[in-house]
Amino acid sequence: MTRVTAFDEVEWRFNSKYLFSMDFKYYKKELRKMTEKNTIVKSILINAPYEMVSGFAADNRNWSKWNSNYSNFHYLNGSGEVGSKYELNLSIAGMLYDGISEIETLERMPDLLVQKETFVSKNLDRADDVSTGYIIETIKRTENGTEVTLVHHFDEPFDNHLAIDMVANAMDFGLNNLKLMMENPPSTAERQAAQI
Closest Cα partner for 68 from 183, 145, 144, 181? 181
What's the pLDDT score for residue 191?
Answer: 58
Residue ranges and CATH numbers for the domains of the chain are 5-195 (3.30.530.20)
pLDDT by residue (tens digit) across 57-116? 989 889 888 888 888 888 999 998 999 999 988 887 777 888 899 999 889 899 999 999
Per DSSP, 186 falls in state P
Cα(1)–Cα(172) distance, rounded to whole angstroms? 12
Q: How far apart are CA 196 and CA 111, in angstroms?
A: 36
> Are 140 and 147 spatial neighbours (Cβ–Cβ below 8 Å)?
yes
Query: What was the pLDDT predicted at 48?
Result: 95
Say yes or no to pLDDT of 183 above 70: yes
Helix, strand, coil shares, percent, the chain, to 5: 30, 40, 30
Give the Å distances, CA to CA, from 189 to 86, 94, 182, 186, 195: 33, 36, 17, 8, 10
- Express each pLDDT in 26-47 by its tens digit: 334 444 444 556 888 999 999 9
pLDDT at position 130 is 82
Per-residue pLDDT reduced to its tens digit, 124-180:
777 777 888 889 999 999 999 999 999 988 888 766 566 777 888 889 999 999 999
Spatial separation of the C-alpha atoms in residues 68 and 55, rounded to whole Å: 19
